[in-house]
Amino acid sequence: MDAAPLTVAPAGEERLYRRLAARLSIQTKLMMILLLTAIASVAIVGFVEFQYGAKELQLAATNKLVQARELQRRAITGLFADMTNSLTVFSGGAVASGALTAFTAGFDELARVAVTPEQQRAIADYYRDNFTKALGERAGDQPDVAAFLPTSNAQRYLQAHYTVADSQRSDGDSSAWAAANAQFNDIFGDIVHLNGYQDGLLLDTRGNVVYSVNKGVDLGTNVLTGPYRESGLQGAYRKTLAANAVNFVWITDFAPYQPNLDTPTAWLVSPVGTKGVVEGVMALALPSAKITEIMTVGRDWDAAGLGRTAESYLAGPDGLMRSDSRLFLEDPDRYRREAMAAGTSESTVDRALRWGTTTLVQPVAGPGLRAAQRGQSGTLNTGHDYLGKRELTAYAPLTVPNSDLQWSILSTREYADAYSGVTSFLRRVVLATTGVIFAICMLAMLLARLFLQPIRRLQAAAQRISAGDYSAVVPACTADEIGDLTRAFNDMSRSLRTKEEMLDQQRRQNDELMLSLMPESLVRRYRGGEQAIADEHHNVSVIYAELQGIEQVSAEVTASELVTLVDDLVRQFDAAAEAVGVERIRTMHNGYLAGCGLTTPRLDGVHRVVEFACEMQRIVERFAIKSGHRLSLWAAINTGEVVSGLVGRSGVTYDLWGPAVNRAYQLRRDTTESGIYVTAAVRDMLDEDQKFVAVGTGDAQDQIWRLSETP
């Protein structure tokens, strides 16, 4: 095969190119070089910045989802911890023990009480026409009535008088069980209803349900041998009795519970007894709706900042949800379409709609769930959710002590929604890069002309300095007068830059000093020239504390040691205040004034200030033990309206005034002993777990309380 001939430009064309290049001025050539270099630089920088910005936006979206996951995980574990503590306290008390004793005795007595044929027929009719019919409609098949009918005389008696009659108190019942019900029913009813439980049961040591708040079909049954022995309650009952400890609590996973028409129910079970003797068991039925309420933030996703598609849900080891789907709650019809399109069977979707929940119904298998079930925590952006959408997932295992829960928590958001900011950022980068390139083109033409004009170059550099850019330096390319002027200009630029750095350092020191005296918002206003700065605040919690014994210490140590001692204590107080979100106002002599809710409104300001006071007390106690000096803390806490502002001119002071502050100061006259004192307003806002002792009324004629136990 012949080789292709080489193409050689004619001699005439080469001479034409040379003539055109020769005719281009140096200014034109320089402008072209500057344009090509600048455009290439901007393009590279734009690309790099886009890559970095996109990565940061993706990281921000992921971090937001992780934060939502952690908030929900803490909320769920906190819920179970609160319920466990409450159940332990109540089941181990005398009320629960007395109730169980009374109901058990009454239940045993009913074994010998006659049940009329009419009552037995009413029971059979109720199970046939009401309970099994409703259970069949929910489950999708008709159950056998005979399998659920009461088998013991006591069970028939109780269900005839309470379950069939749909009554909490039967007027026709004069048994000992009825007397116990009249005495304790309201107490247990309040526990169940106020805490969102579905039902509450008391069981004796033989497995008999001797009491039920709802008086349902499980009243009088036996969890070991009765018709509902396959429920999760049986295992929890056995485990609770086997623990043989009155402070034990066991929590079961959600499972359908037939007496509640197969509603997904979890059980919190604890022994009942006093003095370490287990007398029976108390069981509280937790419906899945309570968990869903937390996982869906009360269905107010927008207020929680979750956007259009983000949601958090729980999943069990069986790969089924333990809380409701967001789309299921917002738009059931759309949920049906998308879930079936993603592969969920029609029967499963229909069951979720029939039950009114996706708990124990909707499968959510995916890589995130599998990783969480292996005990891992992390994020994924490659999986698809149960609706078939590509999603960003933050997953983690959920650990609940004293339970058989093996749940996983997943916070998800549709991929397109999560990374919508990246698309917007790309559009902005393209527009900005185009604008910058256009600006560079114009600037290149200008610089090309100015390159041949050294005086204008110095002028441009001088303009940069006048605008505050002291880094401007002009190259000294010649050894003539222009070169000398250029070098003198550069010396001036370096001198100005050095002075500017010194001024910046001084400004930073001034900023740090002012921020140590007042909040940042007041610093800006003070620098803005406001003459009188004062603000009114509502619902602010204040604490005024004094070190007692400092006068004796001052007589025992040198001045330097005294200042070091006080400085150490104040630094520890400041660190504790910052840790709990309390703002120090000022220190005076042996006093310390602080508040919560001034610059940042807080709903839990009273709790934060009390926590801070307790930490101050612990700091003083530790310091007294370590140093050997007899020091103690007196502190007064109040809440209400205050006025903050700046006073003075040569020496500016940030201070607080108002009723809340005045009352805190007044408590110093009303109380003399060391300790933490609070007003009645503060006491009313605190938890009952905190112990207070009334110490009098004082000049203001309102009750003063002293914290008797430091948490």
Least confident of 159-163, 206-210, 295-299, 512-516: 512-516
State in Å, rounded, how far the first CA of the chain is from the last one. 97
CB atoms within 10 A of CB 550: 16
Q: Which of 28-42, 334-348, 356-370, 384-398 has the lowest mean pLDDT?
A: 28-42
| Whether the predicted pLDDT of 642 surpasses 60 | yes
Q: Is the pLDDT of residue 513 over 70?
A: no
Measured CA to CA, the distance from residue 697 to residue 666 in angstroms comes to 11
Q: Which of 137-141, 372-376, 402-406, 559-563 is the least confident region?
A: 137-141
| ∠ CA 584-587-589, rounded to 5° | 165
Distances (CA, A) of 646 to 162, 510, 641, 651, 710: 70, 17, 17, 10, 35
Specify which of 60-74, 162-176, 448-462 reaches the highest per-range mean pLDDT: 60-74
How many residues are given for the chain? 711
pLDDT for 283:
94
**Torsion angle of the four alpha carbons 121, 124, 125, 126, in this order, in degrees rounded to the nearest 10:** 120
What confidence score (pLDDT) does residue 6 get? 47
- Residue appearing with tokens 């040691």: 561
- What percent of the chain has pLDDT above 70? 81
Evaluate if residue 3 carries a pLDDT over 60. no
pLDDT score, position 222: 93
Surface-to-core class of residue 672, CB atoms within 10 Å of its CB (0-12 exposed, 13-18 middle, 19+ buried): exposed
**Band of the pLDDT at 518, cuts 50, 70, 90?**
low
**What pLDDT shows up at residue 516?**
56
User: Of 220-224, 255-259, 455-459, which gets the smallest average pLDDT?
Assistant: 455-459
| Torsion-angle region of 280 (φ positive above 0: left; ψ -120 to 50: alpha; else: beta) | left
Q: Please state the φ and ψ torsions of residue 596, each to the nearest 5 degrees.
A: -140, 125
Task: Give how far the C-alpha of residue 453 lies from the chain's centroid of Cα atoms, to the nearest Å.
Answer: 64
Q: Among 335-344, 474-483, 676-685, which stretch is predicted with the lowest mean pLDDT?
A: 474-483
Strands 280-287 and 255-257: unpaired
Give the residue, 668 or 153, on which the prediction is more confident: 153
Question: CA-to-CA distance for 134 and 262, rounded, in angstroms?
Answer: 10
Q: Which domains does the chain have, with CATH numbers?
A: 92-291 (3.30.450.20), 453-517 (1.10.8), 531-707 (3.30.70.1230)
CA distances from 678 to 123, 384, 467, 704, 706 (A): 59, 55, 57, 6, 6
Residue type, 357: T
- Spatial contact of 390 and 415, defined as CB atoms under 8 Å apart: yes
Report the percentage of the chain scoring pLDDT > 90: 13
Q: Which long-range contacts (CB under 8 A, 24 or more apart) does 445-450 make?
A: 445/31, 447/31, 447/34, 448/27, 448/28, 448/30, 448/31, 448/34, 449/27
Distance between CA 287 and CA 252 in Å, rounded?
A: 12
* Residue 664 CB neighbour total at 10 angstroms: 28
pLDDT band at 501 (very low <50, low <70, confident <90, very high): confident
Residues 6+ away with beta carbon under 8 Å from 156:
115, 119, 120, 123, 150, 220
1: confidence class by pLDDT, cuts 50, 70, 90: very low
pLDDT on residue 61: 74
Contact 203, 223 (CB under 8 A): yes
Strand ranges (E), 552-631? 583-588, 591-596
Helix (H/G/I), strand (E/B), else coil: 226: coil
Give the C-alpha separation, 52 to 54, whole Å.
6
Categorize the per-residue pLDDT at 555 as very low, low, confident or very high, splitting at 50, 70 and 90: confident
pLDDT in tens, 592-640: 888 898 887 888 888 888 888 899 889 988 988 888 888 888 988 889 8
**Structure confidence at residue 269 (pLDDT):** 94
Indicate whether 9 pLDDT > 60.
no
Q: What is the pLDDT of residues 173-207, one digit of tens each?
A: 788 898 999 999 999 999 999 888 999 999 999 99
Q: What is the pLDDT of residue 672?
A: 79
Bridge partners (DSSP) of residue 594 are 543, 584
The answer for residues whose C-beta is within 8 angstroms of residue 338's C-beta and 6 or more apart is: 327, 387, 388, 389
CA atoms of 545 and 567, how far apart (whole Å): 15
pTM of the predicted structure, to 2 decimals? 0.56
Integer Cα distance of 284 and 301 in angstroms = 29
- CA separation for the pair 180, 167 (Å, rounded): 15
